Amino acid sequence: MRILIVSFYFPPYNSIAAVRVGKTARYLVTLGHEVRVVTADRQPFQQTLALEISSERVRYTSWIDVKKPIHMLSGGQARIDLGDIPPGAHQAWRRSPIWSLLKTFLFFPDEQVGWLPFAVRKCAQTVNQWKPDVILASSGPTTALVVAWLVSKRHQVPWVADLRDLWVDNHYYSHPEWRKKIERRLERRVLSSASGLITVSEPLASTLRRGYQKPTRVVLNGIDFDDYPAHPVVPFRKGSVQILYTGRIYEGKRDPTPLFQALKLLGPLKEKLQVAFYGDNLNSVAQLARRTGVQSLVSVHPPVPYRESLRMQSESDALLLLLWNHPGEKGVYTGKLFEYLGAGRPILAVGPQDGAAADLIRARNAGFLASDPRRIAEKLKVWIDLKAQSGGIPSVPRDGLASLSRASQTGVLSEYLRELLCPN
């Protein structure tokens, strides 16, 4: 099968979305499919993610960053990424009426709309030179779905939407109601033209089925065991309990405050713990730690290459997962959760105890879930005792995770595409 993948995010640019799409491309090729990818060049991420298919299969395009004038006013993107601007200055700008107006009126359907004409042109060239059997568009950004819709309509090629997050029903959606109504019309027009829909969990799939009555399949993010150290260093060593978080923090949503309050409750015992955060835009974490009085226990670091982050996860005592207490979050599996499961270290999930992510952690006996600082503090005491008595915290068995592998989940996708294109 010839498959054209349309995705703004793709390796070597290191983002969690690029990991999913890059792995999908890799394993589709492994399954014998011909794959081409149209993606964006010059993305604002480190170029540390391995490109796991031939570079000849990937077409990078230019794009216009519609946020660039705003970044210039707020200190420059490079300074924002490095945290060089005064703490809170960029977030204050993002809360300003000017930012809200620009976001509402200019970023339609999203902040990557400046990629649209370049992607459509490159997809059209690719289709004319190499006729695909299907176009697979990965969203967000939702601009990728609009690209696939336009190309499909013009060239009569069926397309499938891979929604890592929902569109207007996304719980992060924050535009005013009038904009939501307009965008809802666009969403219906675009997704109604798709041959099928893909998403990352059953709750999200149910929402899509109710809205569109389209064939909808769940394809999980999955685990690629090849990316982990062949012989990870088992973290049985003297010293403090090392808790690790990798990725972004969404201020006011996924919140480490309950953990910091738990550290405070431990009294002198808290000195036997260290919490390290690695990722972009983590100024808010340092501020929260200072306000809670645990800044000596919390360290904040820039992002590291993808495989380095997996190695660090495998060698930590425990892994921190932050869940948002929002109804829309209940159907979300973060890509980080599957990384953590692959690392085989116990997960400390801070947030609500219902939802897809919490259910998976419980089903795999992979960690501890709580939102009450007192309960978190009690669990931390258990881990401190284990570390003192035996040198470390036991690993979480990785048995039974084969169905969650990237290869297995891409097999689900491959079979689904065959069903759509050859229903008989």
* DSSP at 271: G
- pLDDT recorded at residue 76: 47
pTM for this structure? 0.88
Q: List residues bridging with 137 in a β-sheet.
A: 6, 161
- pLDDT recorded at residue 219: 96
**CB-based burial label for 110 (10 Å; 0-12, 13-18, 19+):** buried
Amino acid at 323: L
Q: What are the chain's domains?
A: 2-66+107-222+405-421 (3.40.50.2000), 225-390 (3.40.50.2000)
Question: Are 222 and 408 within 8 A, CB to CB?
Answer: yes
- pLDDT recorded at residue 176: 86
Q: Which residues contact 215 (CB under 8 A, 6 or more apart)?
A: 195, 196, 197, 416, 419, 420
Write down the H helix ranges in 193-303: 202-212, 257-265, 283-292
Q: Which residues contact 119 (CB under 8 A, 6 or more apart)?
A: 6, 8, 38, 40, 61, 63, 143, 144, 147
Backbone angles phi, psi at 150, to 5 degrees: -65, -45
pLDDT string in tens for the chain (424-residue length): 999 999 999 999 999 899 999 999 999 999 999 999 999 999 988 899 999 999 999 999 999 988 776 656 555 444 444 344 343 444 454 555 676 777 787 888 999 999 999 999 999 999 999 999 999 999 989 999 999 999 999 999 999 999 999 999 987 788 889 999 999 999 999 999 999 999 999 989 999 999 999 999 999 999 999 998 876 666 666 789 999 999 888 766 678 999 999 999 999 999 999 999 998 878 889 989 999 999 999 999 999 999 999 999 999 999 999 987 655 556 667 778 999 999 999 999 998 777 778 888 888 889 999 999 999 999 999 999 999 888 888 888 877 788 899 999 999 999 999 999 987 6
Q: Give the span between the Cα atoms of 18 and 3, in whole angstroms.
A: 17
Kind plus residue range of the DSSP H or E element containing 83:
none
- pLDDT recorded at residue 213: 94
DSSP states of 326-360: SGGGGG---HHHHHHHHHT--EEEES-S-SHHHHH
Q: Give the span between the Cα atoms of 266 and 290, in whole angstroms.
A: 16
Q: Give the span between the Cα atoms of 280 and 99, in whole angstroms.
A: 21
The percent of the chain in helix, strand and coil, each rounded to the nearest 5, is 50, 15, 35
Picking from 126, 143, 124, 123, the residue whose alpha carbon sits closest to that of residue 17 is 143
- pLDDT recorded at residue 67: 79
Backbone angles phi, psi at 22, to 5 degrees: -60, -40
Backbone angles phi, psi at 334, to 5 degrees: -75, 150
Q: List residues bridging with 320 in a β-sheet.
A: 348
- pLDDT recorded at residue 64: 93
- pLDDT recorded at residue 239: 81
* Distance, C-alpha 306 to centroid of its chain: 13
User: What separation, in Å, do the N-terminal and C-terminal C-alpha atoms of the chain show?
Assistant: 16
Q: Give the span between the Cα atoms of 267 and 38, in whole angstroms.
A: 54
Radius of gyration of the chain (CA): 22
